[in-house]
């Protein structure tokens, strides 16, 4: 029924009889929190599972490296060659107590004609090693002065008429305030250089010992050590290495 303006008039008595539109359902906040907790739990479980898998995969490698490095050396190796199996400390102790020549007292034990302030003590007899073993070339470098700024150690493998440079260890910008018992215990910046072809098998210890890993017959022969400093004359000496099954070059003694 329309009124005089043309609008539909609704009887107030029947107005409430028309059905109202249904109310929209609202989500329960507690339900959202529950699903969030479930998702977080699944994510954490995945992270834990991935971590355990990584630990299981890396455990054999870490155990192997721990077995290789479980021997405590008296002097740390500057560069740990990959093919090295280090002997026990008692074997190194025996090497350090071998009878020695002194480059300052025994002229035939020095490579130089002029005497040096630095003295190098080397074994009187060749060092012997079996094939595939690790050979240590022991030396005892005596540095008398304490006011030096740097000391450089060089190792060469003398081969016939030529020589093969192996490595160089440079201790530079050393602290003059520290006065340790041994010269190589002073706080310094270390610069280490080794030829690429020797990096897998050759290294040096902080006390200047040469380390040759997985020795082969061609490693036999004479090894020359040269010590250079800023305020002392250079020093030079040599050690012979004999490899069991080698060509016999290392059986030569220093000539008197």
pLDDT tens for 27-68 read: 555 666 777 777 777 877 778 777 776 666 554 443 343 333
Per-residue model confidence (pLDDT) at position 139: 96
Output the CA–CA distances (angstroms, integers) from residue 167 to 63, 133, 151, 171, 211, in the order listed: 30, 20, 14, 13, 11
Are 129 and 231 found together in one domain?
A: yes
Per-residue model confidence (pLDDT) at position 89: 75
Residue 156 located in a structural domain: yes
Q: Which of 40, 70, 100 is the last residue of a domain?
A: 70
Are 63 and 98 found together in one domain?
A: no
Mean pLDDT by 10 residues, the chain (256 residues): 54 54 57 73 77 60 37 51 65 89 93 90 95 93 88 91 85 80 85 88 91 93 94 94 67 38
Are 62 and 118 found together in one domain?
A: no
The boundaries of the domain holding residue 45 are 26-70
Are 123 and 48 found together in one domain?
A: no
Residue 230 located in a structural domain: yes
Q: Which residues contact 212 (CB under 8 A, 6 or more apart)?
A: 129, 134, 135, 136, 137, 201, 202, 219, 241
Looking up residue 110, the CATH number of its domain turns out to be 2.60.40.10
Number of structural domains the chain divides into: 2
- In angstroms, rounded to a whole number, what is the distance separating the alpha carbons of residues 238 and 240? 7
Are 129 and 225 found together in one domain?
A: yes
Whole-structure pTM value: 0.65
Q: Please name the residue that has the structure tokens 């910046």.
A: 189
Residue 5 located in a structural domain: no
């Amino acid at each position: 029924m329309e009124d005089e303006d043309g609008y539909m008039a609704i009887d107030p008595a029947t107005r409430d009889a028309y059905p109202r539109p249904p109310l929209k359902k609202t989500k329960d906040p507690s339900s959202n929190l529950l699903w969030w907790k479930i998702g977080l739990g699944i994510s954490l479980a995945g992270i834990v599972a991935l971590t355990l898998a990584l630990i299981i995969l890396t455990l054999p490698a870490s155990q192997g490296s721990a077995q290789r490095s479980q021997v405590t050396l008296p002097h740390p190796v500057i560069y740990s060659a990959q093919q090295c199996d280090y002997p026990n400390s008692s074997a190194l102790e025996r090497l350090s107590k071998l009878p020695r020549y002194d480059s300052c007292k025994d002229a035939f034990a020095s490579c130089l004609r002029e005497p040096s302030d630095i003295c190098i003590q080397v074994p009187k007899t060749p060092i012997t090693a079996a094939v595939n073993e690790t050979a240590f070339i022991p030396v005892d470098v005596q540095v008398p002065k304490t006011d030096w700024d740097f000391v450089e150690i060089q190792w060469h493998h003398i081969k016939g008429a030529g020589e093969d440079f192996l490595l160089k260890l440079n201790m530079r910008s050393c602290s003059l305030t520290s006065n340790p018992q041994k010269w190589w215990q002073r706080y310094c910046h270390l610069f280490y250089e080794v030829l690429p072809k020797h990096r897998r098998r050759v290294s040096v210890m902080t006390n200047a010992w040469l380390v040759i890993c997985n020795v082969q017959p061609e490693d036999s022969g004479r090894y020359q050590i040269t010590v250079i400093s800023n305020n002392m004359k250079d020093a030079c000496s040599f050690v012979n290495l004999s490899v069991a099954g080698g060509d016999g070059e290392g059986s030569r003694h220093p000539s008197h």
